[in-house]
Amino acid sequence: MIKRIAVFEENGFSDFNFKNFLVNDSEFFKIINFNFKAGQMLPVHSHDIDGQVSIAVMEGQGEFLGKDNSIFPANTGDVLVSDIREPHGIRAKTDMRVLVTIAPPI
């Protein structure tokens, strides 16, 4: 299996909430694109399971969020890597496109 996904063409933005688009789902990893308008966010969350998640900023800028209200810059090209059981989230300062990869897939 090999496939190319034009993520910037496949998924847009909404004034109401972030828009997510499933890029890949397999036994190995799940890849989801989230688009945020400025101000939108994926609140801090976690799941009590083994595994890791990466969040790569493809466009725009914002903030990665962690436990105890911790904040990390999230500029284009930045990647957050977190255990799934560790609290993590993201908030957009500008319109923002991110790629989330979860392994093993939830």
**Where does this chain bind a copy of itself (CB under 8 A)?**
1-9, 23-24, 26, 28-29, 31, 50-52, 54, 56, 58-59, 64, 66, 72-83, 86, 88, 97, 99, 101, 103-104
Least distance between a copy of itself and beta carbon 4 (Å): 4
Compute the least distance from the CB of residue 68 to a copy of itself, in Å: 11
Residue number with CB closer to a copy of itself (7 or 38): 7
What is the rounded CA–CA span in Å between residue 66 and residue 45? 9
CB 25 within 8 A of CB 78: no
In what helix (H) or strand (E) does residue 9 lie, and over which residues does it extend? Answer: helix 7-10
First CA to last CA distance, the chain: 21
CB of 21 to a copy of itself, least distance (A): 11
**Residues 50, 84 contacting (CB under 8 angstroms):** yes
